[in-house]
Structure 1
């Protein structure tokens, strides 16, 4: 099995399927993340860290913020630049941000905080935030209360993020002292190809040996056949978006 480091840096090789298969973020959830950082008469300055192909970046831009995108993988940032125009991009991590002190109103991470070391990452995020700025963490998680989705998760193997949320959610460290939490339920219509791309964008599958990938794909194909996800037909995949925020003292 691949190491945590190998899995965390695996996404660049699957950037195109990540862009196709991963869902967008609900606008209401992004607005909630950013709300404490808004100040009358000031535009929001936000860093999307672990930005990947720009799924969250897009939503933050649409919320009216000035955004920089940061990711450890240059391949992912290349796809981001193709999809989100006029957003500066930098290679970096939550533990080492290429940004000046107190320069931001918010730092957000989508599907990413479970890959970081929360102690140095919290300190580094606090360094680049102004007092009163916001650390926002967000995940789109499939709703396993639906039986077929629970079966889907079993075939694909649970992710680090899903395990972390099931165990009580993310951890932050000083100077942040706690997290507010909110959730949104929604669904995404997906074709068979998009469902496969969603699965193929997961680090466990990207790094799995060929025989394990073959086993997973056979199980997925059987499930998708049963669901009627054939050709252009769509299936509604239910999600729960879980968002967490903390204000820098």
Structure 2
């Protein structure tokens, strides 16, 4: 399965993605503002790999003049339904549809790892104004919470990932930093949580690319077993999901 195929697998589950994926806490955007040294209000921002618009909507709420870029048909359709008045262009981070030195901030929420940094880094440098910034972030499950760590292991086993947990964590960190060495990014982590129904929690799991490419039969088998595991931990059917947003900000 190629990276491109995995990236485009989200289009088949775009509505489910929009309904079940976690958002981001206000503290994330406070930290972005701190690191870029300016308010998001009035900033010219492009949200790349915008998906269904989860981050785009929050950037707009902070007063940013935001335009979204999304390559996928299904994700773009959900975006337009949710944010009909926000500009959306089709494309990706490897060939940005913007003029040189035209943006104050480029954001990638859960999307940088789908780019080819041999193209996306030069493109970011091209379109950012002097003093502009590139901000990348990911919602990472809080694996210091025992039940989340155990679930992470079950998912890895089901999806055929056999490397030790520490190695997978190191690999994911390396992937997030790839191509940014010359930009000297600043890294911060923002801890947060949300409480959702068990059904929504399982729906969120099913929107991850590892399950989308696995197929319906394999996914449903895992979710049925996982429901039984979690019923023992959360008998009231309310699941507290813990996250740590991994944020990287590099200045132009």
**TM-score, normalised to structure 2's length?**
0.87
Residue in 1 that maps onto 2:178: 171
Q: Which runs of 4+ in 1 moved over 3 A?
A: 34-40, 161-169
Deviation sequence 1:86-143 (CA, Å, 0-9, x none):
1100111101111111111000000011111112101011111111100000111110
Residue in 2 that maps onto 1:218: 224
Structure 1 residues not aligned, in runs of 5+: none
Q: Is this contact kept in 2: 1:182–1:243, CA < 8 A?
A: yes
Residue in 1 that maps onto 2:195: 189
Aligned partner of residue 143 in structure 2, secondary structure: coil
TM-superposed CA distance for 1:78, in Å, is: 1.5
The whole-number CA distance in structure 1 between the counterparts of 2:125 and 2:58 is 23
Residue in 2 that maps onto 1:111: 110
The whole-number CA distance in structure 2 between the counterparts of 1:99 and 1:155 is 42
Residue in 1 that maps onto 2:246: 242
Question: What count of residue pairs does the alignment treat as equivalent?
Answer: 242
Residue in 1 that maps onto 2:80: 81
Residue in 1 that maps onto 2:165: none
The whole-number CA distance in structure 2 between the counterparts of 1:135 and 1:60 is 14
Q: Is this contact kept in 2: 1:48–1:68, CA < 8 A?
A: yes
TM-superposed CA distance for 1:173, in Å, is: 4.2
Aligned partner of residue 183 in structure 2, secondary structure: coil
Deviates more, 1:214-223 or 1:122-131: 214-223
The whole-number CA distance in structure 2 between the counterparts of 1:57 and 1:13 is 21
TM-superposed CA distance for 1:151, in Å, is: 1.8
Residue in 2 that maps onto 1:151: 150
Residue in 2 that maps onto 1:30: 29
TM-superposed CA distance for 1:163, in Å, is: 6.0
Q: Cα–Cα, structure 1 residues 140 and 128, in superposed 2: closer, same or farther, change >3 Å?
A: same
Which of the pair is proportionally richer in helix?
A: 2
RMSD (CA atoms): 2.3
Residue in 1 that maps onto 2:7: 8
The whole-number CA distance in structure 2 between the counterparts of 1:240 and 1:112 is 16
The whole-number CA distance in structure 2 between the counterparts of 1:155 and 1:6 is 24
Q: Is this contact kept in 2: 1:123–1:173, CA < 8 A?
A: no
Q: Cα–Cα, structure 1 residues 37 and 166, in superposed 2: closer, same or farther, change >3 Å?
A: closer
Deviates more, 1:183-192 or 1:218-227: 218-227
The whole-number CA distance in structure 2 between the counterparts of 1:219 and 1:106 is 43
**TM-score, normalised to structure 1's length?**
0.88
Deviation sequence 1:189-219 (CA, Å, 0-9, x none):
0101211111111001011044422332232
The whole-number CA distance in structure 2 between the counterparts of 1:164 and 1:49 is 23
TM-superposed CA distance for 1:154, in Å, is: 2.1
